[in-house]
Copies of this chain bind each other. A is one copy, B any other.
Amino acid sequence: MKSLTNLFSGIPNVLDRELVNELLKYGSVRIERIVSRGQSSPPDFWYNESEHEWVVVLAGKARLKIERQPEIILGPGDTLYLPAHTKHRVEWTNPQQDTIWLAVFWKP
Which residues of A come within 8 Å of B, CB atoms?
Answer: 4-9, 23-24, 26-29, 31, 52, 54, 56, 58, 76-81, 102, 104, 106, 108
Chain B positions within 8 Å of A78 at CB level: 5-6
Chain copies in the assembled complex: 2
How far apart are A97's CB and chain B's nearest CB, in angstroms?
16
Q: Nearest chain-B residue to A8 (Cβ)?
A: B77
Q: Nearest chain-B residue to A75 (Cβ)?
A: B6
Q: Is the CB of A56 within 8 A of B104?
A: no
| From B28, B58, B108, contact of A106 by CB (8 A) | B28
How far apart are A99's CB and chain B's nearest CB, in angstroms?
15
How far apart are A71's CB and chain B's nearest CB, in angstroms?
16
